[in-house]
């Protein structure tokens, strides 16, 4: 997913917003996007522990599979941009210039150092988010999906809280082409750790429309499971039909919610702030709405005003955020 920004005029337009819109619920959930990724390298155990301590309701896991069929928590199905794979395994690059997780065993992957996300600019590693954790400091590792669940369930026991998990299967079609059934493997791990029904604190998410349907129609019944399902959405032709009123109505028959890119809900155009009918139509179809990604350091304007717009004026049910602390505090103060 590309990193996208909201433009500043978006926020000045908030001043013109009439009292509105379709707020339905008072319970809002905070989903720690890749952990406390505003403060520590994404998807590290440290980032997850910090997000837990900050009061997230759910911690997000992006999940991919290794050569030896182990599930690891990583945003991409390749290792570029967050590790030192280029230095440790210089000969393992594919022709497209990428280092694929699926080409490495878990043992090999565990030798990598994880760092804050970077791009290569003029041959130099350059932080994507310059104000975040410095590149190349301290020591972070990739961990398995099971290890992260055990961290969260361990903290649930030791703190007495009940924080949920929010796994996303990354590129299931790519994994299938490589002979691996990512969704089935993730669901089996969920079942092993007791996430079985809609009462359990788990949301299963994917951008792949056909895969979510397959999970609902085939995999969950086969495994005697019935967990909450989230269809992720982006601004792409692929999603044009599903975001219509009829499309959402059909989706509402098997999914529990949608996770849209935030600009699909509200964005700025030449006439000012534009709010779509997506939330209204999703709620009418019985779907919760959890947009992504709320980043304090990417928003030009007041972060809390943006949260207020989405959570309390438009009425989304939760948000993915890199800044759990700011978001939890905002919701607490609002109450
Ligand atoms: O899964 C919700 C949100 O995380 C989607 O964006 O690209 O960060 O996985 P991405
Ligand atoms: Ca994700």
Q: What secondary structure, in 3-state letters, does the chain show?
A: CCCCCCCHHHHHHHHHCCCCCCCCCCCCEEEECCCCCCCCCCCCHHHHHHHHHHCCCEEEEEEEECCCCCEEECCCCECCCCECHHHHCCCCCCCCCCCEHHHCCHHHHCCCCECCCEEEECCEEEECCCCCCCCCCCCCCCCEHHHHHHHHHHHHHHHCCCCEEEEEECCHHHHHHCCCCHHHHHHHHHHHCCCCCCCCCEEEEECCHHHHHHHHHHHHHHCCCCCEEEEEECCCHHHCCCCCHHHHHHHCCCCCEEEEEHHHCEEEECCEEEECCHHHHHHHCCCEECCECECCCCCCCCHHHHHHHHHHHHCCCEEEECCHHHHHHHHHHHC
Closest CA to ligand 1's atom 4: 33
Judge whether 131 lies within some domain. Answer: no
Mean pLDDT by 10 residues, the chain (335 residues): 42 45 64 98 98 98 98 97 97 97 98 97 96 96 98 98 98 97 98 98 98 98 98 98 98 98 92 95 98 92 95 98 98 91
* Per-residue pLDDT at 5: 40
Please report which ligand is nearest the Cα atom of 31: 1
Judge whether 294 lies within some domain. Answer: yes
Q: Which of 212, 258, 293, 319 maximizes ligand 1 atoms within 8 Å of its Cβ, making it the mutation to test the pocket?
A: 293
Q: Which of 56, 60, 263, 298 maximizes ligand 1 atoms within 8 Å of its Cβ, making it the mutation to test the pocket?
A: 60
pTM equals 0.93
* Per-residue pLDDT at 335: 78
| CA–centroid distance, residue 44 to ligand 2 (Å) | 14
Q: What is the CATH number of the domain that holds 328?
A: 3.20.20.190
* Per-residue pLDDT at 211: 98
Judge whether 51 lies within some domain. Answer: yes
Judge whether 227 lies within some domain. Answer: yes
Judge whether 133 lies within some domain. Answer: no
Judge whether 105 lies within some domain. Answer: no
Rounded Cα distance, 134 and 39, in Å: 10
Judge whether 65 lies within some domain. Answer: yes
| CA–centroid distance, residue 15 to ligand 2 (Å) | 31
Judge whether 130 lies within some domain. Answer: no
* Per-residue pLDDT at 270: 82
* Per-residue pLDDT at 62: 98
* Per-residue pLDDT at 247: 98
Tell me whether residue 33 is one of the annotated catalytic residues.
yes
* Per-residue pLDDT at 44: 98
Residues in contact with ligand 1 (CB, 6 Å cut-off): 1, 33, 60, 62, 168, 205, 232, 259, 292-293, 320
Task: Give residue 194's domain range.
Answer: 14-77+146-334
- The number of folded domains in the chain is 1
């Amino acid at each position: 997913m590309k990193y996208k920004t909201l433009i500043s005029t978006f926020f000045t337009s908030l001043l013109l917003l009439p009292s509105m819109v379709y707020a339905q619920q008072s319970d809002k959930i905070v989903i720690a996007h890749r952990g406390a990724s505003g403060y520590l390298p994404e998807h590290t155990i440290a980032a997850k522990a910090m997000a837990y301590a900050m009061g997230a309701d759910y911690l997000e896991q992006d999940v991919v599979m290794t050569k030896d069929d182990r599930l690891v928590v990583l945003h991409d199905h390749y290792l570029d941009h967050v590790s030192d794979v280029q230095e440790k395994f210089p000969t393992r690059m594919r022709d497209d210039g990428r280092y694929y997780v699926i080409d490495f065993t878990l043992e090999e992957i565990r030798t990598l150092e994880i760092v804050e996300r970077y791009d290569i600019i003029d041959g130099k590693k350059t932080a994507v988010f310059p104000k975040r954790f410095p590149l190349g400091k301290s020591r972070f590792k990739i961990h398995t999906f099971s290890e992260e669940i055990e961290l969260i369930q361990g903290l649930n026991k030791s703190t007495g809280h009940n924080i949920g998990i929010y796994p996303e299967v990354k590129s299931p079609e790519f994994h299938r082409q490589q002979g691996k059934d990512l969704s089935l493997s993730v669901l089996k791990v969920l079942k092993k750790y007791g996430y079985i029904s809609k009462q359990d604190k788990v949301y299963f998410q994917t951008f792949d429309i056909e895969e979510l349907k397959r999970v609902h129609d085939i995999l969950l019944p086969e495994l005697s499971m019935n967990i909450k399902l989230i269809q992720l959405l982006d601004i792409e032709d692929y999603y044009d039909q599903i975001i219509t009123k009829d499309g959402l109505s059909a989706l509402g028959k098997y999914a529990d919610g949608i996770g849209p890119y935030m600009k699909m809900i509200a964005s700025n155009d030449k006439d000012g702030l534009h709010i779509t009918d997506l939330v209204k139509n999703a709620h009418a179809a019985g779907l919760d709405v959890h947009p992504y990604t709320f980043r304090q350091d990417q928003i030009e304007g007041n972060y809390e005003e943006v949260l207020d717009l989405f959570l309390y004026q438009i009425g989304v049910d939760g948000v993915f955020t890199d800044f759990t602390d700011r978001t939890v505090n905002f919701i607490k103060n609002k109450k």
